Amino acid sequence: MAIYTKTGDKGETSLANGERISKADARIEAYGTVDELNSWIGLLRAGLKTSAIRFQPADEQLSWMQNRLFNLGAALSLAPGEWVSSADVQQIEVWIDEMQAIVPKLHAFILPAGSECVARCQICRTICRRAERKMIALGCSDEAMQLMNRISDYLFVLARYLGYENDEKEETWKRD
């Protein structure tokens, strides 16, 4: 089977139900941004594997999230079925709470800076927020919105955790 179908050559694509829509449609923008996030998380995982920061649970957790993001992309493409659950959201909250119990309390806004892995977490976080905004415009389910919000929170806390474990000092925002 060829990877190219030529069916998208004029700026249209098919949803899971076969409906043809513009590649500029809000639905395509939403699941395209979820796909972009998934790819950036893959780059984050690659960085974790080659970094001095070795945090095996993060790689496993991020892999789990990548699978959930594929599920979400399928749901955004109108595929039938329950793709996002409240149990997924609760699992992410457990991981956030575990890391939050270790890092210092946050008393100021911090800049998205630090080692390469920390910076990759922050890039993933901002892409996740963009995907979330695009999903709001579609009126996505509460569970889907909660999942994206928790993934964003997780990525922020993971950035802090990785920096903390690597003895990186967080840069706080200095208001001019």
- The CATH number of whichever domain residue 37 belongs to comes to 1.20.1200.10
Provide the token pair at 20.
């043809």
- Name the pairing type of β-strands 20-22 and 12-14: antiparallel
Helix (H) or strand (E) holding 21: strand 20-22
Cβ–Cβ under 8 Å, residues 16 and 81: no
Q: Is residue 3 part of a domain?
A: no
Helix (H) or strand (E) holding 14: strand 12-14
pLDDT tens digits along 93-124: 999 999 999 999 998 999 898 889 999 999 99
Any idea of the CA torsion for 43, 49, 50, 55, to the nearest 10 degrees? Answer: 110
Distance CA 163, CA 78 (A): 39
Can you give the pTM of this predicted structure? 0.91
Q: Is residue 37 part of a domain?
A: yes
Q: Is residue 172 part of a domain?
A: no
Q: Is residue 174 part of a domain?
A: no
Q: Is residue 175 part of a domain?
A: no
Q: Is residue 142 part of a domain?
A: yes
Q: Domain limits at 24? A: 18-77+84-165
pLDDT over 80 at 79, yes or no? no
Q: What's at 101, amino acid-wise?
A: A
Q: How many domains does the chain have?
A: 1
Residues in the chain: 176
pLDDT tens digits along 3-55: 887 877 888 888 888 889 889 899 899 999 999 999 999 999 999 888 766 67
Distance CA 125, CA 112 (A): 10
pLDDT tens digits along 127-136: 999 999 999 9
Q: Is residue 10 part of a domain?
A: no
Q: Is residue 6 part of a domain?
A: no
